[in-house]
């Protein structure tokens, strides 16, 4: 193999990436078509993109300013797709492509560290097999997941050992900076990961560049995450209820953890912090543990996840694992490089263990078609969705809707859409009640029969009984109601 060709992923890896994208994209498309996607979070992100494309800012699904939810400035690059008619399917498939194509920067990182194209290709395959990779795709669109290839490319250029150790504004370093900025612009949390890259560089021969990266990332996080996002949110936060007695803001969680370390360590113990670390590293045969400095990239997010009082933040099925997954695969490559440097024969054995452990993980708790318990595509085609389609067909393009959470992502290309029983009963709406429109301006209620809680069902019964909503149309277990009350006075 020529030296030039050695820096290109093999045809086998490129084929595997293509097949993975096609298989997983089909599953994600079927999931949305079956009305199995939700208001939190696909509905939030789709409405945010639609709002930005129309010069509007307030997201009614979550009740926050678009950038008060998260600082997702890269969304402006997706706005032109909205103008062309893009929606949830576009964002979901783009994310699948981003995850699949992340194998390429992983190959580049491994090729640079190991100078072995064959082993580098194996790490690319490993990424595709990791259960967390497919889970990230299946959970549907999230900005931190979209940031993964950008963060990996930033890591590659910042830690490239073939580059000069003396910082200068050459092409290589400019490209590294652009990838870093692009990663951070997806979501404010990414600055914590790029701070980790800066620390990693400070521990190597690129100290000046590392100091620049760390300082810039820290400044960005302090300004954007600690000030701008809370300011735009009106001092509300999407995570305010997740940390219990540790606090409701990032700063209060840190301060309370330092002031009362027993709270911090009890939470780690209660949430099985070591078990969570094992879930992250075991599919990679624990190789990441050999490169603890590289794991610093994901350490802040690790604590953000494990310190909550809700187990979904440390479940491998959700987007909270995006940054830890990047840290884990990068550390696995660095860990393998360390083993190979010390004992080449043992490194070959560990490589076989890596392939075995990744395969076992993919088989036992992954969700690819060959897994023991995959999410089968058949469940998406067997579900009757005629009722959802009928309800959607009744609604005008600008009508205000309050609907079942799985209907919301199909109705977010409008300025105002709520999850029922909002706005009558405030649930999952993080801002004050004065941000709601008048209830008399809501034209439609769409619910899945038998799915409402006691309070929501009682509310619906009252609205129908007093003839505020009527003309029900039921089909396939879904009922839509039209507003039949008096006209609004004074606008919305």
Residues 457, 316 within the same domain? no
Query: Is residue 413 helix, strand or coil?
Result: coil
Mean pLDDT is lowest, of 235-239, 286-290, 432-436, for: 235-239
pLDDT confidence bin for 490, thresholds 50/70/90: low
The pLDDT value recorded for residue 449 is 95
* 219: its two tokens: 């400044």
In tens, the pLDDT along 231-269 reads 998 876 667 678 888 887 777 888 889 999 999 999 999
Is residue 290 situated within a structural domain? yes
Q: Is residue 257 part of a domain?
A: no
> Higher model confidence: residue 131 or residue 251?
131
The tally of domains found in the chain comes to 2
Q: Is residue 45 part of a domain?
A: no
- 125 and 213 inside one domain: yes
Domain assignment present for residue 57? The answer is no
HEC string of 1-39 equals CCCCHHHCCCHHHHHHHHHHHHHHHHHHHHHHHCCCCCH
Cα 243 from chain centre:
19
**Domain co-membership, 327 together with 464:** no
Query: Is residue 2 over pLDDT 60?
Result: no
Q: Assess whether 328 and 396 both reside in one domain.
A: no
Output the pLDDT for position 238: 66
Lowest-confidence segment of 78-87, 170-179, 273-282, 458-467 by average pLDDT: 170-179
User: Does residue 328 sit in the same domain as residue 440?
Assistant: no
Question: What pLDDT score was predicted for residue 429?
Answer: 83
Q: Write out pLDDT tens, residues 50-74.
A: 999 999 999 999 999 999 999 999 9
Please report whether residue 152 resides in a domain. Answer: yes
pLDDT of 252 reads: 84
Percent residues over pLDDT 90 in the chain: 78
Residue 327 predicted with pLDDT over 60: yes
Please check the confidence at residue 4 and state whether its pLDDT lies above 60.
Answer: no
Domain presence at residue 41: no
What are the CA-CA distances from residue 475 to residues 93, 385, 396, 410 (Å)? 30, 9, 19, 17
Do 353 and 447 sit in the same domain of this protein? Answer: no
Considering the domain architecture, whether residues 230 and 126 belong to the same structural domain is answered as: yes
The domain boundary, picked from 336, 365, 394, lies at 365
- Low-confidence winner among 13-17, 165-169, 275-279 (lowest mean pLDDT): 165-169
pLDDT of residue 186: 98
For residues 371 and 384, what is the distance between their CA atoms, to the nearest angstrom?
A: 26
Domain membership of residue 259 (yes or no) is: no
pLDDT of residue 8: 80
How many angstroms from the chain centroid is the CA of residue 470? 39
Instruction: Classify residue 209: in a domain, yes or no.
Output: yes
Q: How far apart are CA 208 and CA 144, in angstroms?
A: 28
Residues 211 and 107 in one domain: yes
Q: Indicate whether 275 and 360 sit together in one domain.
A: yes
Q: What is the CA radius of gyration of the chain?
A: 24
Residue 6 pLDDT > 70: no
User: Could you tell me what percent of the chain has a pLDDT over 70?
Assistant: 94
Q: Which domain holds residue 478?
A: 385-483
Provide the 3-class DSSP secondary structure of residue 59: strand
pLDDT tier at 433 (50, 70, 90 boundaries)?
A: confident
The per-residue pLDDT for range 141-182, each reduced to its tens digit, is 999 999 999 999 999 999 987 666 666 777 888 999 999 999
Label residues 438-472 b or e (16+ Cβ within 10 Å = b).
Answer: ebebbbbbbbbeeebeeebeebbeebbeeebbeee
Q: Phi first, then psi: give them for residue 88, nearest 5 degrees.
A: -55, -40
The backbone torsions φ and ψ at residue 164, rounded to the nearest 5 degrees and listed phi first, read: -65, 145
C-beta separation of 198 from 211 below 8 A:
yes
Residue 374 in this model has a pLDDT that exceeds 70: no
pTM above 0.85, yes or no: yes
85 burial level (CB within 10 Å; 0-12, 13-18, 19+): exposed
Distance set, CA 278 to CA 103, 112, 120 (Å): 22, 27, 24
Residue from 406, 379, 416, 409 nearest 477 by CA:
406
Q: Are residues 390 and 337 in the same domain?
A: no
- Same domain? 280 vs 420: no
Tell whether 434 and 348 lie within a shared domain. no
């Amino acid at each position: 193999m020529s030296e030039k060709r050695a820096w290109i992923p093999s045809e086998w890896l490129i084929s595997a990436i293509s097949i993975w994208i096609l298989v997983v994209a089909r599953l994600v498309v079927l999931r949305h078509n079956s009305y199995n996607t939700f208001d939190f979070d696909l509905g939030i992100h789709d409405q945010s993109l639609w709002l930005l494309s129309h010069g509007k800012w307030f997201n009614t699904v979550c009740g926050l300013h678009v950038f008060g939810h998260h600082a997702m400035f890269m969304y402006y690059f997706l706005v032109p797709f909205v103008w062309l008619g893009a929606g949830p399917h576009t964002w979901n498939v783009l994310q699948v492509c981003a995850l699949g194509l992340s194998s390429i920067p992983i190959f580049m990182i491994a090729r640079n560290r190991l100078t072995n194209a064959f082993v580098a290709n194996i790490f690319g395959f490993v990424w595709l097999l990791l259960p967390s990779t497919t889970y990230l795709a299946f959970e549907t669109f999230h900005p931190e997941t979209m940031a993964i290839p950008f963060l990996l490319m930033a890591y590659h250029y910042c830690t490239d050992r073939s580059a000069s150790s003396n910082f200068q504004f050459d092409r290589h370093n400019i490209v590294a900076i652009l990838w870093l900025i692009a990663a951070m612009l997806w979501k404010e949390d990414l600055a914590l990961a790029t701070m980790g890259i800066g620390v990693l560089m400070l521990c190597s021969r690129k100290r000046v560049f590392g100091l620049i990266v760390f300082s810039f990332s820290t400044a960005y996080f302090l300004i954007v995450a600690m000030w701008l996002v809370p300011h735009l949110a009106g001092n509300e936060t999407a995570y305010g209820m997740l940390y219990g007695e540790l606090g409701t803001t990032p700063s209060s969680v840190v301060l309370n953890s330092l002031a009362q370390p027993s709270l911090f360590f009890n939470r780690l113990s209660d949430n099985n912090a070591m078990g969570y670390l094992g879930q992250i590293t075991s599919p990679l045969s624990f190789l990441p543990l050999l490169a603890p400095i590289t794991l610093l990239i994901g350490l802040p997010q690790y604590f953000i996840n494990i310190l909550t009082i809700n187990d979904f933040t440390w479940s491998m099925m959700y987007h909270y694992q995006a940054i830890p997954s990047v840290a884990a695969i990068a550390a696995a490559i660095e860990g393998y490089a360390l083993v190979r440097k010390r004992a080449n024969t043992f490194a070959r054995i560990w490589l076989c263990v890596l392939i075995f452990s990744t395969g076992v993980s993919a088989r036992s708790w992954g969700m690819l078609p060959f897994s023991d318990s995959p999410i089968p595509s058949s469940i998406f085609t067997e579900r009757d969705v005629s009722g959802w389609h009928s309800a959607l067909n009744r609604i005008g393009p600008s009508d205000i809707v309050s609907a079942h959470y799985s209907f919301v992502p199909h109705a977010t290309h409008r300025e105002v859409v709520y999850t029922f029983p909002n706005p009558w009963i405030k649930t999952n709406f993080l801002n004050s009640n004065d941000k709601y429109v008048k209830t008399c301006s809501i034209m439609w209620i769409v619910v899945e029969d038998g799915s409402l809680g006691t309070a929501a069902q009682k509310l619906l019964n009252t609205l129908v009984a007093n003839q505020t909503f009527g003309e029900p149309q039921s089909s396939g277990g879904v009922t839509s109601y039209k507003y039949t009350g008096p006209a609004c006075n004074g606008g919305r």
